[in-house]
Amino acid sequence: MDIPTIDLLSFCSSQSDDIVNKIANACQTISAFYVTNSTLPTFENDYEALQQLLRFFELPIDIKNKISGKINRDHRGYAFTEDVESNELREWVYIGDENGDSYAKNQWLEEEELPGWKHAIETHFKLMSSTGKLLYQAFSLALGKEKNFLEETFHREPTVLLLRYPSGGKCPEHTDVGFLAINLLDSTGGLQIKPRGSDIWVDVPPRENTFLCHIGDALERVTNGLWYSVPHRVRHEKSGYRYGIVMFNNPHAESIISPLDNYITNNFDENNEHKSLPIIYKDFHRRRLNELKY
Ligand SMILES: [Fe+2]
């Protein structure tokens, strides 16, 4: 099964039907696509910029634990998770855009503990925002709407998840909660998806100077299930660390998540009612986090 590649520069210059159709088709079938030609740094074209974000993991554990995500209801901060039952072994830091309207609070180290780190994160958020905005526009067109529809209707709240997996590290099967996940993959591989209609895990090989995109549960709900929030997991079986950076673009906390008018009739259940009743995104997000087994 081939994962398609979307050229973001071509989308910027022409916003062609071909590209929009390719995205719509990917979101309904294989449920993921690569993106090339964005302004985001990748592991190949600007390793140093990404190292500025990931050097947090080199700190002693007692420093990292000063911003423990385990004490924060909305999972902001750092965690080392080693859980045999849930099949998880990895470290992560989860941070939201300081300029966003997010309802969860970030946690930061003192500047002298990791000089320049907060600035590097803020710089990355600016780059990420322009890419997220373009992909939101492409999604809006692919949904048959005006290009600013998603951003104007649901807003766009960027957050970033920095990841480090030791050799043997893993992340269990799950789907993401929000609208859009942008995955920067290093050269080690290890990400797998289970496309719609398949019981087979498909490797997502890293491709130079690209990132991998897929949608989350909230956008699946907005399309009443026509687009698919793909289950995915990580198995890092090589030596050395595997690094990843996932950038989420999610609805505003107070947005109402329910199927768009032209999607309500897509997906009737046995009672002839659409499956996705309206819910405030904040409640949806918390409920889904509580459902995760890790
Ligand atoms: Fe995920």
Q: What's the rounded mean pLDDT across residues 210-214?
A: 96
Q: Is residue 71 part of a domain?
A: yes
* Inside any domain, residue 258: yes
Domain that holds residue 247: 5-289
Cα 112 to ligand 1 centroid, rounded to whole Å: 32
- pLDDT band of 272, cuts 50, 70, 90: very low
The Å distance, Cα 272 to ligand 1 centre, comes to 31
pLDDT at residue 244, as a whole number: 95
Q: Is 52 in contact with 118 (CB distance < 8 Å)?
A: no
| Total domain count, the chain | 1
Specify the range with the lowest mean pLDDT, choosing from 58-72, 132-146, 256-270.
256-270
> Is residue 294 in a domain?
no
- On average, the pLDDT of the chain sits at 89
Give the pLDDT confidence of 73-119 residue by residue, as tens digits.
567 899 998 887 778 899 999 999 887 766 678 999 999 999 999 99
Does residue 70 form part of some domain?
A: yes
Distance 230 CA to ligand 1 centre (A): 9
CA of 287 to the centre of ligand 1 (A): 16
Compute, in angstroms, the gap from residue 176 CA to the centroid of ligand 1.
5
Please state which of the ranges 44-53, 61-70, 71-80, 254-263 shows the lowest mean pLDDT: 71-80
Q: What CATH number is given to the structural domain containing 275? A: 2.60.120.330
Give 215 Cα–ligand 1 centroid separation in angstroms: 10
Give residue 13 CA to ligand 1 midpoint distance, Å.
30
Q: Report the phi/psi class of residue 118: left, alpha or beta, with left for phi > 0 and alpha for psi in -120 to 50.
A: alpha
| Across 211-237, average pLDDT | 95
User: Does residue 144 form part of some domain?
Assistant: yes
Q: How far apart are CA 221 and CA 102, in angstroms?
A: 21
Q: Which residue is listed with tokens 């209609």?
A: 197
The Å distance, Cα 17 to ligand 1 centre, comes to: 29
Eight-state DSSP code of residue 237: -
**Domain presence at residue 121:** yes
> Rg of the chain's alpha carbons, rounded to an integer?
18
- Measured in angstroms, how far is the CA atom of residue 195 from the centroid of ligand 1? 14
Q: What's the CA-to-centroid distance between 50 and ligand 1, angstroms?
A: 19
141: in domain: yes
Residue 79 lies in a domain: yes
Q: In this prediction, what percent of the chain has a pLDDT beyond 90?
A: 68
At 274, is the pLDDT very low, low, confident or very high (cuts 50, 70, 90)?
A: low
